[in-house]
Chain A
């Protein structure tokens, strides 16, 4: 067996090196414990790093989709509430129309009914001008100005994007999947322009025509009765819009819960790659502390011994 010639400097250097190594290991572990992360830069573990980064990117995206869905849902909920209010308006209008069909011509009763119908028209107009934040929701792509305005001759005009054109406002709720967050106002509420008979549509059309009829010197009772049917049609079209909106909202809810599941999966993926196992790190630390203490003790002993002590 051969022995290596150990010089004094070598012994010292070794002691110092070992202490340095043990301390730096302990420091690494402490840092892991303090940050809760195994890796702080890609070179710590390139494979884990790419997982962490892509999971982070995906999760940021998912969070944004969830935010979008929440915004879209609130906007659609608002539309839904507005449309529900219309159902009350229509049932009141039907009561009034029934009363009017039985009232005598030229009576004050008709005037009273008419003024209430006019109130209802204003109410419909106000509902159609509902805002979500700073946006008018029933104006198609025109969101800055009120979609319904009343001109001097009493016509109620729709200024938004017509339902025959691109009125949809889209939000992205998932990668490359968009949802329309609005319904075109003219399709639901209609409008009334006295000079253009093709633009006397929807609830507003029905109510304005009814009101015009009632204020006439000799009201046409057949028209009053047929307006009852029109009101039914109007109600049906509201209900169908409402179910479309409801359908979109529930689709949004489903997408949201799926996204939330995905988010959890990616989050787990990410913590698996970057998070520490607390129990393991803590036990590693106490092990490392023992090692450091041992190397300190041994170091102190080794450098003590010298032949001088025995001469």
Chain B
């Protein structure tokens, strides 16, 4: 026989259980818009009599004593989480890469009406005018302005590209910029997040070993893992007591409550000065004491934001990178300047003894009538050295000697017998435009150093080849976006909160609570009946 008061306890438990259930519903509703929140569920089981004073197995097995809360569990699917993180790494990679290559594309955009392409066209037009009227000073000044425009446009494009690069990975010649570079900040963020996961692991293990379900901590950790996957590709493996380990393509970063891999962005060899070719800054993975585990982690960082930064700043010829674009511009600037300078200072003798000499000539205005004289000044110079060697897009500049005296532009070209020297009638030919005609014709000349393209074709090909690569980055972004969307939907479908569901649950638990209270009432009445019987 059970006690008369037995039922009271069963319904009391029922009240408690339903109240807890309503609390959970309330918590679910409150967190409907919280990022990373997983819908919580109440896991109930029925409570059976543990001890019975009547030693009657029949009663014990037949009469339950209510329900009890086993645990409050999260709606979470580990497999979806892992797919989500992979997709998130790829999506973050594509986004970061696309953002940067779009910036680069704008710089080399051949479709725009301004910029380098337009400056080159204007330059050739000015050369044509120069050829049509070589002795006209206005035309000469105009030609120099157009040449200056070309140089300035090269400089601007190069400096825009290097600025993007400095923002992303810093400048090797200026160590301070390495610390404020995006990649360094990302590495620091990443380290903080890894540390936070390690710390959470510790708390979670403790809580789990004590038999509680630290749901909010688990959500927080899952959230951190999502955030980490934005930076790098990670693999998460579960351990005992809900603790987890993080690794990146085989390199351990977090093992249980310890962060074992630290990201460090610094020069490959910190003992010597940096250099892009021999000692560039790299992302290293170090242990807690700052000893290198991986001297260069770039091959392991295959996706995520950091992977994208590494790729866009790499020198991989098959990828749309800043360095490739810069190299292409440098090649063009160098070849263009060399060609123009070679025409400007042309001087060749066929056969020193009896042959003829051909020379590029500029105008000498010092006498009473202008005459031709040998041209010696280059048009384009290297701004760093003041010479005509190693001209790049960054340092190309126009010779100031010409700006101050435009008559030094070699517009004429004459051929004379070496022994007798140029004739006076040749020298009087200030309307001779044969040299500037060669500058005009450079426009349609295929140049071996520019893959047998003309200067303008080369620039167009740089722009369109980059366009092809940007297009492929863009379609990767689109597909990665679609994949992430799909997995997010799936995850949200598993872990998210549905209000209709919560409302119905609320009603369910409310009714349950009401019913339990009713039982109380009934029990009370039954007891009263019994008591009345006795009186």
Interface residues of A (CB under 8 A from B): 4-10, 13, 17, 39-46, 49-50, 52-54, 57, 60-61, 64, 67-68, 71, 133-135, 139-145, 159-162, 165-166, 169-172, 175-176, 178, 274, 306-308, 311
Contact = CB atoms under 8 A, between A and B. Distances in A.
B496 to A, nearest CB: 3
Contact of A7 (B121, B430, B444, B493): B493
A299 to B, nearest CB: 17
B429 A8 contact: no
A40 B111 contact: yes
**Main SS at interface, chain B:** helix
A49 B431 contact: no
A183 B32 CA distance: 90
Contacts of A175: 444
A57 B443 CA distance: 10
A54 B457 contact: yes
Contact of B464 (A13, A49, A71): A49
Interface stretch (B287-295, B298-306, B468-476, B516-524): B468-476
B110 A170 contact: no
Contact of B467 (A49, A68, A306): A49
Nearest to B489: A10
B431 A139 contact: yes
Given A53-B460, A142-B430, A161-B425, 13 more contacts: A8-B32, A42-B105, A42-B110, A43-B470, A46-B467, A60-B125, A133-B133, A134-B135, A141-B431, A142-B425, A142-B429, A170-B434, A170-B437
Interface string B415-455: 10000000101101111111001001101100000000000
B497 A8 contact: yes
B349 to A, nearest CB: 18
Contacts of B441: 172, 176
B499 A53 contact: no
Interface residues of B, number: 65
Q: Nearest 5 CB-CB pairs, A to B?
A: A42-B467, A141-B429, A143-B431, A7-B496, A43-B470
Nearest to A137: B431
A144 B463 contact: no
B423 A165 contact: yes
B437 A172 contact: yes
A178 B437 contact: yes
Interface stretch (B4-12, B87-95, B158-166, B500-508): B500-508
Contacts of A141: 412, 428-432
Given A64-B128, A169-B431, A171-B132, A42 B111 contact: yes
Interface of B: 32-33, 39, 102, 105-106, 109-111, 117, 121, 124-125, 128, 131-136, 369-370, 412, 414-415, 423, 425-426, 428-434, 437, 440-441, 443-444, 456-457, 460-461, 463-464, 466-468, 470-471, 474, 485, 489, 492-494, 496-500, 503-504, 507
A143 B128 contact: no
A161 B492 CA distance: 88
Nearest to A174: B444
A248 to B, nearest CB: 15
Contact of A311 (B135, B467, B503): B503
B135 A143 contact: yes
Given A135-B135, A140-B431, A165 B425 contact: yes
A8 B503 CA distance: 12
A144 B425 CA distance: 13
15 contacts: A6-B498, A8-B500, A10-B492, A10-B493, A42-B111, A42-B471, A43-B102, A44-B471, A64-B125, A133-B133, A141-B412, A143-B430, A169-B432, A175-B444, A306-B500
Given A13-B492, A61-B444, A135-B431, A43 B133 contact: no
B431 A142 contact: yes
B428 A43 contact: no
A138 to B, nearest CB: 11
Contacts of A170: 131, 433-434, 437
A67 B124 CA distance: 13
Contacts of A43: 102, 105, 466-468, 470-471, 474
